[in-house]
């Protein structure tokens, strides 16, 4: 366990150093970027070791897989869990009851369901809109890859931001996977420009968060304005295969 904690801490610090370097290159404050550690398919022991290494911000893709970890660690102070995967409607209650933030609102229907459960739980759920800025059919997210799709989705966004028990905090995206991280840059730029547009169209909403960048491309994401980067393998090593 001590060896695992040390290795996680060392890798975390390396990522932190890379974040700082990328931030300084464009005049950003490194403290404005949070490192979310992705623990999907990782066992509870790895999450415990991560907490011992000083990590408090975690992301999970599958509510039913995350729930035992969240419950086992609920006595730990200051732990924050973000839902970062596509959410099936029947699992919305788990997110409302056990997650800190929902990053992947990709359709009005799931937003309305989360809002209903949040009303029942007497909470306001912090959330982000997931946007598809690449046009890939394999990607989830509200369509926003060109001017036409962006304009078409504004009605959906208006409905989501009006829901009283959701508090929209910003945007999230997942660009295509490239061999060279520089190829991801146009997609991060696109999300930042959409953020600027939405601030003007919906000034009553907080659009401060940009969740973008993974182990494969986070230095570029930081340069383009990411406030949350989602890091798995660069800190925890290879993922275990998800059992069905």
Q: How far apart are CA 162 and CA 228, in angstroms?
A: 24
Residue 199: CB atoms within 10 A of its CB come to 13
Q: Convert the pLDDT of each residue in 122-131 to its tens digit.
A: 999 999 999 9
Q: Indicate whether 39 pLDDT > 50.
A: yes
Q: Convert the pLDDT of each residue in 161-217 to its tens digit.
A: 999 999 999 999 999 999 999 999 999 999 999 999 999 999 999 999 999 999 999
End-to-end CA gap in the chain? 27
HEC letters along 154-214: HHHHHHHHCCCCEEEEEEECCCCCCCCHHHHHHHHHHHHHHHHHHHHHCCCCCCCEEECCC
CATH number of 2-236: 3.20.20.10
Q: Indicate whether 240 pLDDT > 80.
A: no
Q: Indicate whether 241 pLDDT > 90.
A: no
Residue 36 · residue 58 · CB < 8 Å: yes
Label residue 222 by pLDDT band (50, 70, 90).
very high
Q: Indicate whether 244 pLDDT > 50.
A: no
Q: Name the strand (E) or helix (H) holding 51.
A: helix 44-52
The pLDDT > 70 percentage for the chain reads: 98
Domain boundaries, the chain: 2-236
Q: CA geometry: angle at 57 spanning 93 and 197, to 5°? A: 80
Q: What is the pLDDT of residue 57?
A: 99
Q: Which residues have a Cβ under 8 Å from the Cβ of 145 and sit 6 or more positions away?
A: 132, 133, 134, 135, 190
Q: How far apart are CA 30 and CA 225, in angstroms?
A: 11
């Amino acid at each position: 366990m001590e060896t695992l904690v040390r290795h996680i801490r060392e890798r975390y610090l390396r990522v932190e150093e890379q974040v700082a370097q990328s931030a300084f290159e464009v005049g950003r404050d490194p403290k404005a970027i949070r490192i979310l550690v992705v623990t999907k398919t990782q066992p509870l022991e790895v999450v415990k070791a991560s907490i011992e290494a000083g990590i408090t911000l975690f992301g999970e893709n599958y509510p039913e897989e995350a729930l035992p970890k969240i419950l086992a660690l609920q006595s730990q102070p200051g732990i924050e869990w973000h839902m970062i995967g596509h959410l099936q409607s029947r699992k919305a209650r788990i997110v409302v009851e056990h997650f800190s933030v929902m990053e992947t609102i990709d359709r009005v229907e799931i937003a309305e369901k989360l809002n209903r459960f949040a009303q029942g739980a007497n909470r306001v759920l912090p959330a982000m809109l997931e946007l598809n800025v690449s046009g890939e059919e394999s990607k989830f997210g509200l369509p926003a890859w060109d001017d036409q799709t962006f304009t078409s989705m504004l009605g959906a966004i208006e409905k989501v931001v009006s829901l009283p028990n959701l508090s929209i905090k910003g945007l999230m995206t997942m660009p295509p996977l490239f061999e060279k991280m520089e190829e991801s840059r146009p997609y991060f730029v696109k999300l930042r420009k959409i953020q600027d547009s939405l601030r003007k169209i919906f000034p009553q909403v907080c659009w401060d968060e940009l969740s973008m960048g993974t182990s494969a491309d986070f230095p570029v994401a930081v340069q383009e304005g990411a406030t949350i980067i989602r890091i798995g393998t660069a800190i925890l090593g290879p993922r275990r295969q998800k059992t069905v």
